[in-house]
A and B are shown apart, each in its own frame.
Chain A
Amino acid sequence: MKKILPFVAFFTLAVRGYCQKNAITDTTDLFKMMDKEDQKPDKSKTDYVTSTFKTTRLINGQSSENLGKGVLDVKISHRFGTLNSGAYQLFGLDNATNRIGVDYGIFNTLMVGVGRSSFEKQFDAFGKLKILRQSTGRINMPVSVSYYSSVMLKTLKGTDSAKTHFSDKLFFAQQLIIARKFNDYLSLQVVPTLVHYNIVPFHNMPNDLYSIGFGGRLRLSRRVNLTAEYYYQLPGHSLPGYYNSFSVGIDIETGGHVFQFNISNSTGMTERTFITQTTDKWSDGGIHFGFNISRVFTVVKPRQFNAKW
């Protein structure tokens, strides 16, 4: 008996201790419990930052955003001629190049897309994978990081008689998109980029062209955002006669659409054409007006919607 007493005492205390964890006494007040819980930061959940950028594209280049799972995005983009082409060309509006594309979110972390540009009758396809998501709470992550990879195929028939192979018309781009949403008003991203040419015009030109993109979004009002994007080609990594691309845009959201108006010295809408083949200069008035229209459709509803309402 004496041997068992300490055990019983211990057991009683242990149970009491356990019960006190969920203790409900006459003075238990759920309101106070809730206030207490609200005061301390919730470390049990991870709060992921959403809408760092408004669409998956900043202006010409990619943003750190992905489409949600099961979302289809139809994008129609136009870039007009240069403003300095004068009134005869209606300041560039007589000339337009376009890209029509369709993007789709396979998972929340992976999206793919295809497109066709009128410039050099180019087809492109890409995939974008989210590696890290900016978050607070249980997981603290200061930035979002995505990997983007695309392939471009020029199908314009060659004018010279030199024999070309299919692979000569292929171009590749790889990007790491590092982004941070500082607050509801400001998001910035840095984009190390590699554009690979399977064939370059002259043998002394590099096939791998490295550049760094800088981009940002500034919220002006609930539905209007100012965006800017600059791609800096590293010294020795640009083709002769081409300039760095700089663009400024306005994003306007209306219901299921996002309209992006922009002015830029680039007309290209794929990595090869706007990062490494921008032919115009801002200082000469070589500025193009352009717009992107995005319309999203929900193809597969989130799983929460499978249950009955």
Chain B
Amino acid sequence: MKKKYLTVACVVFIAGITHAQKLFSTKTGQISFYAGTPLEDVRAINNETDSKMLQKNGQIIFSVLVKGFVFANALMQDHFNENYMESTKFPKADFKGFITNINAVDFDKDGIYNISAGGDLTIHGITQKVNLNGTLEVKGDNIILLSKFKIALKDFDVTGNYIGTKIAPEVEITVNCKYE
């Protein structure tokens, strides 16, 4: 009898920890951007985005190595790192924020939920407050976050000769992260 109690207590104890507060995380999230113009197809992709999200309050972070963005054109990638993003000086870009309507997401029920988030976006060493919209798809134990938003390069002090001609002054950023 005693043994049974112990076992039950143990299971409840373990379950209590693991279930109520879930931390979703990924190290292989995808962030891509497009800053192209009719003159030049400027786009790059990074498949090593580090992101974590807390279920209880919607706290969410993204962190990405600027050098990890891959371009089709190697010379463009070089210019991106050396001239525009100064990736040796500012190796990381990140976002710290909260999903404001996390309560609208039912993590026990599969489906696609519209979400919005607010927080601090840091690129090129400059931090700006941003509000973003996207969707959160619950699929069993996994969740998939999609978001598309635009930022202005001048807000992050990214300058260069070709911004406005070959490079669009506004960059469209796409986030596609599958959490476990």
State the A residues within 8 Å of B (CB). Answer: 1, 4-5, 8, 11-12, 15-16, 19, 22-26, 28-31, 33-34, 37-38, 45, 47, 50-51, 54, 67-68, 71, 183-184, 222-223, 253, 255-256, 258, 296, 298, 301-302, 304-305, 307, 309
Contact = CB atoms under 8 A, between A and B. Distances in A.
Q: Which 4 A-B pairs have the closest CB atoms?
A: A24-B21, A68-B74, A301-B72, A222-B83
B82 A184 contact: yes
Contact of B88 (A45, A71, A184, A301): A184
Contacts of A183: 88
Query: Helix, strand, loop or mixed for chain B's interface?
Result: mixed
Contact of B94 (A25, A34, A45, A222): A34
A258 B78 CA distance: 12
A198 B107 CA distance: 75
B162 A22 contact: no
Interface stretch (B11-19, B123-131, B137-145): B11-19
B70 A30 contact: no
A256 B73 contact: yes
A34 B76 CA distance: 30
B78 A50 contact: yes
Given A24-B23, A298-B72, A51 B78 contact: yes
Contacts of A5: 6
B150 interface: no
B172 to A, nearest CB: 11
Interface string B30-74: 001000000010010101000011101001110101010011111
Nearest to B53: A30
9 contacts: A8-B3, A11-B10, A16-B13, A31-B96, A68-B74, A184-B86, A184-B88, A298-B72, A305-B70
A4 B4 CA distance: 12
A113 to B, nearest CB: 16
B27 to A, nearest CB: 9
Contacts of A47: 65, 67, 91
A33 B52 contact: yes
Contacts of A71: 74
A38 B160 CA distance: 28
B72 A12 contact: no
A11 B11 CA distance: 11
Category for how many chain B residues contact A: 35 or more
A274 B94 CA distance: 49
Contact of B61 (A15, A34, A223): A34
A22 to B, nearest CB: 7
B166 interface: yes
A255 B45 contact: no
Contacts of A296: 73-75
B17 A255 contact: no
Contacts of B78: 50-51, 54
Contacts of B52: 30, 33-34
Contacts of A28: 21, 23, 54
B81 to A, nearest CB: 6
A31 B3 contact: no
B109 interface: no
A38 B92 contact: yes
Contact of B23 (A22, A54, A67, A258): A22
A23 B72 CA distance: 41
A63 to B, nearest CB: 13
Among A11, A16, A28, A67, chain B packs the most CB atoms within 10 A around the CB of: A28
A38 B162 CA distance: 32
B94 to A, nearest CB: 7
Contact of A302 (B59, B70, B94): B70
Nearest to B39: A255
A55 to B, nearest CB: 9
Given A25-B21, A296-B75, A301-B72, A31 B61 contact: yes
